Amino acid sequence: MAIKSNNAEELNCTICGAMSFMEYSFSDLNLYRCPNCDHCFSDLKGNFEEYDSEYFNVSHANWFNNPNIALFETYNKSITNFKPDASVIDIGCGRGDFLKFLRKKNHRLSLTGIDLYENSPVEGVHFLHADIFSADLNRQFDVVVNTAVIEHVADVQKFTRRLYELCSPNGLVIITTVNDRGIIYGISRLLHRFGCTMPLERLYNRHHLNHFNVSSLSHLLHINELSVKKILFHNFPLSAVDSPVQSPIFNAIFRSGVWGIFMLSRLMRSTYFQTVVCHKK
């Protein structure tokens, strides 16, 4: 598990343990790539990012103010097709947007959310302000959901095992995370070779510790006895994109470029995000 930089050129992979080699070095982190499972992970030069109210309301306000409703609809279909009255837990639920969405869609669902962020009470949703590793939930759930959280976790083996433990026998685990072999990453690597480092540094920002692709995520799930039923390739709402410069003209050009990349990535099934629906063995 890479946490803080030790200036080593080699580190053990956070998924398979194989010796991994430094791929890039930025001012605040080093990036490593595993030759065995192709996983990429960060070794920070400093402390972890704090996930407090400022993270949601200031630093990443644009992201959280534009929730991915299309993804929520996809989740809802998978859940209701599996079990219309399922018990659902959202691990790292943030401000609870997905659970509030589900509550409006289906009152038969039993909904629980857990996060380090403290949520206000919502009728029909049980929010827990706790760490998933130390919380004593004392039960299992039909569906365990994890949306854009696993990439923030240092010990992905321990985290994935916790998802497995919380899932009922024959239940579902649904994970959405990045796809670092997507087109937008490839373009950013190419730009980096020509001296334009900003896009790659933004993609590998220090708040993401593990940078999954289809191969490495599948490997992690297989190790932890989760059988992949289907993989969905998608992006996030264009309205949620944060522009690096506060200029209306630049912002318009930037968003147009991102829109073009998103369209191409969807056609080639090489998107920024991947969602994996798993069955507990």
Nearest-angstrom CA–CA distance, 199 and 261: 13
Flag whether 2 is in a domain. Answer: no
> How far from the centroid of its chain's Cα atoms is residue 210's Cα?
9
Residue 88: predicted pLDDT: 98
Is residue 268 assigned to a domain? yes
Q: Is the pLDDT assigned to residue 7 strictly greater than 60?
A: no
Average pLDDT value for residue range 104-119: 94
Across-strand partners of 277?
Answer: 174, 230
- pLDDT for residue 5: 43
Q: Residue 197 domain-assigned?
A: yes
Q: Which pLDDT band holds residue 239 (cuts at 50, 70, 90)?
A: confident
Q: Look over the chain and give the mean of its residue pLDDT values, rounded to a whole number.
A: 91
**Which spans in the chain are helix H?**
53-54, 61-64, 69-82, 97-105, 156-166, 183-193, 198-203, 214-223, 248-267
211-224 per-position pLDDT tens digit? 999 999 999 999 99
pTM equals 0.91
In a domain, 84, yes or no: yes
What is the band of 250 on the pLDDT scale with cuts at 50, 70, 90?
A: confident
Q: Which domain holds residue 196?
A: 51-280
Cα–Cα distance measured from residue 259 to residue 238, given in angstroms and rounded to the nearest whole number: 7
In a domain, 170, yes or no: yes
**Segment 20-75, tens digit of pLDDT:** 999 999 999 999 999 999 999 999 987 766 666 666 666 666 777 888 999 999 99
In a domain, 17, yes or no: no
Q: Tell me the CATH number at 71.
A: 3.40.50.150
User: What total number of domains does the chain contain?
Assistant: 1
Q: Residue 117 — pLDDT band, cuts 50, 70, 90?
A: confident
pLDDT of residue 59: 60
Task: Name the strand (E) or helix (H) holding 266.
Answer: helix 248-267
Q: Which residues lie across from 126 on neighbouring strands?
A: 112
Owner of token pair 């365990």: 144
| In a domain? residue 191 | yes
Within-domain flag for 174: yes
Per-residue pLDDT, 275: 98
Q: Span 110-126, mean pLDDT?
A: 94
pLDDT value, residue 240: 87
Q: What pLDDT shows up at residue 3?
A: 43
Query: What is the structure's pLDDT at 62?
Result: 73
Q: CA 63, CA 55: separation in Å to the nearest integer?
A: 10
User: How confident is the model at residue 188, as a pLDDT?
Assistant: 96
**With 60 as the cut, is the pLDDT of residue 82 above it?**
yes
- The mean per-residue pLDDT over the stretch 112-139 comes to 93
Q: How far from chain centre, in Å, is Cα 80?
A: 22
Task: Give residue 4's pLDDT.
Answer: 45
